[in-house]
Amino acid sequence: MTESRQPGGTWQMVVCLAVAATVMAGAQTPAPAPAQPPPGRGAQAPPAQAAAAPTQANIDRANALLAEARKAMGGEKLAAVKSLIVTGRTKRVRGNNLVPIEFEMSIELPDKYVRKDESPAEETDPTSTGFNGDALIQIPPPVAAPPRAGGAAPGGAAGGGPAPASGAAPAGAGRGAAAPPDAAAAGRGGAPGAAAGPGAPAGAGPGGAGPGRAAGPPPDPRRARVIAAKQDFARLTLGLFAQSFPSYPLTFAFAAQAESPQGKADVIDVKGEGNFTVRLLINSETHLPVMVSWQQPPSNVIVLAQGQPQPQTVAPGAVIVNAPPLPAASATQEEKDKYAKDVAALRAKAQSTSVEHRLYFADYRQDGGVNWPYRLRRAIGADTTEETTFDRFRLNAKIDPKKFDAVK
């Protein structure tokens, strides 16, 4: 059975430090960092302002802060970790239910990662996702998308007919995964009541190229999935290791120091391949990572006609907008065409408005001489999408090479 999700959320907040937008002297102007949200709701952290290239001083300060974080997390013992097996449990939002998932993550640094998920409450086979170097790990293997026909976007409603206005988030959305390559294109026209498909192109990841991608050869779906897996791995390892690895190198620059009633946090801008852009928050007193925040297009855009009730279930990260009144039955074709363009523009505008995603790290405890975060929480916008509890960290354990077998 799945666990029913109570209105307003029942989960207790696991973020241990939230910051307001008080910037200390010498720092560049940052986006306001999140404030403490009520239980089960997400903190709001507007995106970083567009800025010039970071100064060498900010790069050096970021590297010093990361070195302090690694020291606080275990120093030499953390640096000695070459492989890691982590087991635990996740509760993921799916509609109005919380779906329990048991997982095992296997990491062999610097370039092997796989997560295996099993859902005891569902009669489904285990699934695995990860990468081995630049090769994709995925069980079951990805299915090739059928060729497009008739000009309709895959997953969309041909002819702009109504589509369901509710539904669960795309698979993997709770972990910040990019939408699959054959997801419905965002910003396409359509009648009110139609739901545009997930807005993040495969592999775009946080801050990825949204609507308006330059014309050119179609992206390689397998490569896109590998980049998406590496980006998810990068967000996770910022909290586990406070660094990046050669499999997906990142750059770091100090952004700001912010204050809140709980204390101070150092904010670091992090960037990588595929327009990957996140902000890492490190507690200034404990020097432990507390949150990663990034922006992505909405998971869905739902355009409601006048008088149409809001859907009972809305996927996390979805945006609902109200369409203008329908033209009269006697309207000219020119008026109808203008209405269709207005609706498409409204949808495109909503699709171009980013939604904040957050990954919180909490409940640090020692295991093998290393401080590991035993609880994670993921949120999209104001909604918690999943909570994870780690049961055990096995350091430098031998991992069966077959676990890293790539898709043929």
The residue extents of the domains of the chain are 1-142+162-408
Model pLDDT, residue 244: 95
Query: What is the DSSP code (8-state) at residue 230?
Result: H
Q: Is the pLDDT assigned to residue 139 strictly greater than 90?
A: yes
Q: Is the pLDDT assigned to residue 174 strictly greater than 70?
A: no
Q: Where are the beta strands (DSSP E) in 284-330?
A: 289-296, 300-304, 318-322
Of 335 and 155, the structure prediction assigns the larger pLDDT to 335
List all residues 6 or more positions away from 176 whose beta carbon is below 8 Å from its beta carbon.
Answer: 205, 206, 231, 232, 235, 294, 296, 357, 359, 378
Angle at 358 between CA 354 and CA 74, to 5 degrees: 145
Highest mean pLDDT, choosing among 163-167, 223-227, 250-254: 250-254
Share of the chain above pLDDT 70, in %: 68
Highest mean pLDDT, choosing among 57-66, 86-95, 195-204, 263-272: 57-66
Residue 50's pLDDT band (cuts 50, 70, 90): low
> Which fold, 1-142+162-408?
outer membrane lipoprotein receptor (LolB), chain A (2.50.20)
Q: Is the pLDDT assigned to residue 376 strictly greater than 70?
A: yes
Nearest-angstrom CA–CA distance, 353 and 343: 16
Residue 234's pLDDT band (cuts 50, 70, 90): very high
What's the whole-number mean pLDDT along residues 121-145? 90
Tokens read off for 23: 């910037």
What's the whole-number mean pLDDT along residues 57-61? 97
Nearest-angstrom CA–CA distance, 69 and 309: 49
Nearest-angstrom CA–CA distance, 340 and 347: 11
Q: Is the pLDDT assigned to residue 172 strictly greater than 80?
A: no
Nearest-angstrom CA–CA distance, 86 and 88: 7
Lateral strand order in the sheet of 318-322: 195-196, 300-304, 318-322
Residue 51's pLDDT band (cuts 50, 70, 90): low
Output the average pLDDT for the chain: 77
Q: Is the pLDDT assigned to residue 293 strictly greater than 80?
A: yes
Residue 310's pLDDT band (cuts 50, 70, 90): confident
Q: Is the pLDDT assigned to residue 86 strictly greater than 50?
A: yes
Q: Letter for the amino acid at 354?
A: S
Contact 222, 194 (CB under 8 A): no
Residue 248's pLDDT band (cuts 50, 70, 90): very high
Nearest-angstrom CA–CA distance, 73 and 239: 10
Q: Is the pLDDT assigned to residue 195 strictly greater than 90?
A: no
Nearest-angstrom CA–CA distance, 174 and 377: 10
Of 94 and 191, the structure prediction assigns the larger pLDDT to 94
Length of the chain equals 408
Model pLDDT, residue 52: 77
What's the whole-number mean pLDDT along residues 162-179? 36
Report phi then psi at 343, rounded to 5: -65, -45
Model pLDDT, residue 270: 98
